[in-house]
Amino acid sequence: MRLAVLGLSHETNTFSRVAADYAAFSILRGEEIVRRHGTATSTVSGFLGAADRYGAEVVPLIYATTGPCGTITRDAFERILDEMLARLRAGGRWDGVLLAQHGAAVAEGYPDADGEVAARVRDLVGPDTAVGMSLDMHGNLTERMVASTTVTNVYNTNPHLDADDRALDCAGLIVRTVAGAVHPVQALEMPPLVINIVKQFTGEEPMLGLMQDCDRVAALPGMLSASVAEGYPYADVPEMGMACLAVHDGDPAQARQAARWLAGRAWQRRREMVGDTPSPEDALRHAAAARRGPVVLMDVGDNVGGGSPADSTYLLAAAQRLGIRRFLQALYDPAAVQTCIAAGIDAPVELAVGGKTDDMHGRPVAVRGRVRRLSDGQFEDLRPTHGGGRFFNQGPTAVVDTEDGHTLVLNSRRLGSMSIEQMYSVGVEPERYQVVVAKGVVSPRPAYEPIAAEIVLVNTPGVTTSDLSFFDYRNRRVPLYPFEKDTPYPAGDENPGASPPNPRGRR
């Protein structure tokens, strides 16, 4: 049994002004994919694992990805997709194709870029080849994705700690489909609902209970898979929002009933899915006054994993203004790093740091301090991390201790806070600080929960702010809760949330 592995994975923040052009993508081919993902815990890692687990011949073809940022240029999308299809065509006959997509990719001219990839792959391999696709929980699922694949599934965890497990599940269903053991039919239900980014942690309500409901659906007789995609609110596309997907062995009606029931369960929790986070000043005062540190402040508006620039200065400026000391944060500022390198270790420096990418993430903040350490910024983390990465690169890095009692880890590549090695690898111990800023919402949790006395999500401005009224949506569905408070659902009389699916699987 021959299975091809390929993907174009991007989470597109259509409000970001940093375009994803061809040069922005890291493109791995053939054995490079194995070297990079063979020992990681990513979606691609899970697909590669199908060789050992199911004895299939798994052939990695191409995997293109770049950090979350703005819309993919038409040139980049078409060039990468053309190469994907060319490699698929050149590989001969496939029993199955495994697609490692994100689910929230938007390209110029292709608002549903993942659906486009899946549809073009389906066109190439024909209706009789099994196509599996495993997506990030932030995917904005579409009917086109589902119609173009045999099985689609989504991570079950946020932070994402099961990317490889879910990909392996998806591959397993494809193997069983090829063997004729199962006949997957999929149903997608999209309640008109957006869950705020600050409510997406699957370890707490409302998502904790909803994922338990998802497990109940997956355990029904004949049910092959169940997924809840939280969706990605920073992609202004018609399908933006939550989606529920059920895959049944042969019975479309049961798949549909299960997906609708799950969507109804999400809808019942909608009032718990609205954001309610403190302002930067309130969060900083609370953190400074806490009896025990460090208090980790999630800089939601500069969620690098969501497409923000990593150089927001709202929290730094407020900490300076409020006189808060023992404060630590990383900040993207390649020019400031070069100044520090020129000055040298132990040298005094005067810098204007951060706030340089655009006018949505604060202004540069003037600081005076001393260069403690310089580094090339490469590091490795063997702990569990969001998304399962192992090797990281924050580019040339300078650690600066300022006269305000702050430590700034200035770096040259936009990197979120999903690995605490970002700090340890440059000799900084976050445990020693009272206030630590993490750029992200949920992704920093695996890294910082072990040392945090408390985690506080902060309503900072920016292209990933939790305050969705900040954005001028042009393409989203209307009505959509909570934008339109009186959004009706379900349409008509039928209430999918009224009763759980029949556990015996009969209608």
CB nearer to Zn ion: give 425 or 443: 443
How far apart CA 12 and CA 120 sit, in angstroms, is 20
How far apart CA 455 and CA 359 sit, in angstroms, is 27
Q: Residue 461: which region, alpha, beta or left (left: phi > 0; alpha: psi -120 to 50)?
A: beta
CB of 230 to Zn ion, least distance (A): 8
Is residue 445 part of the contact set for Zn ion (CB under 5 A)?
no
CB of 306 to Zn ion, least distance (A): 8
Dihedral angle over CA of 233, 235, 239, 240, nearest 10: 0
CB nearer to Zn ion: give 231 or 430: 231
CB 326 within 8 A of CB 435: yes
How far apart CA 14 and CA 232 sit, in angstroms, is 11
CB of 79 to Zn ion, least distance (A): 25
Separation of first and last alpha carbons in the chain: 36
CB of 449 to Zn ion, least distance (A): 18
CB of 304 to Zn ion, least distance (A): 12
CB of 235 to Zn ion, least distance (A): 12
CB nearer to Zn ion: give 229 or 283: 229
CB nearer to Zn ion: give 138 or 372: 138
Helices (H) and strands (E) in the chain, counts: 14, 19
How far apart CA 130 and CA 125 sit, in angstroms, is 9
Tokens of 297: 């402040």
**Residue 179, φ and ψ in degrees, nearest 5:** -75, -5
CB of 381 to Zn ion, least distance (A): 18
CB nearer to Zn ion: give 138 or 476: 138
CB nearer to Zn ion: give 260 or 414: 414
CB of 305 to Zn ion, least distance (A): 7
Q: Three-class SS of residue 176? A: helix
CA distances to 48, 223, 231, 304, 426 from 172, in Å: 11, 14, 25, 33, 41
CA distances to 172, 224, 225 from 221, in Å: 18, 9, 11
**Pairing state between β 327-332 and 130-135:** unpaired
CB nearer to Zn ion: give 102 or 269: 102
Helix 113-125 to helix 74-90 angle (10° resolution) is: 20
Query: Alpha helix (H) ranges present in 344-488?
Result: 421-424, 445-448
CB nearer to Zn ion: give 264 or 388: 388
Q: In the sheet where 454-458 sits, what is the strand order?
A: 348-353, 365-375, 397-402, 406-411, 327-332, 435-438, 295-299, 454-458
CB of 132 to Zn ion, least distance (A): 19
How far apart CA 360 and CA 302 sit, in angstroms, is 10
From residue 21 to residue 40, the character string flagging contacts with Zn ion as x (rule: CB under 5 A) and all else as - is --------------------
CB of 137 to Zn ion, least distance (A): 5
Tokens of 340: 């520090």
CB nearer to Zn ion: give 312 or 443: 443
CB nearer to Zn ion: give 154 or 174: 154
CB of 307 to Zn ion, least distance (A): 11
From residue 97 to residue 136, the character string flagging contacts with Zn ion as x (rule: CB under 5 A) and all else as - is ---------------------------------------x
The site for Zn ion, by CB under 5 A, has a size of 2
Residue nearest to Zn ion (CB): 138
CB nearer to Zn ion: give 264 or 462: 462
Q: Three-class SS of residue 100? A: strand
Among 138, 270, 361, 445, binds Zn ion (CB under 5 A): 138
Give the binding site for Zn ion (CB under 5 A). 136, 138
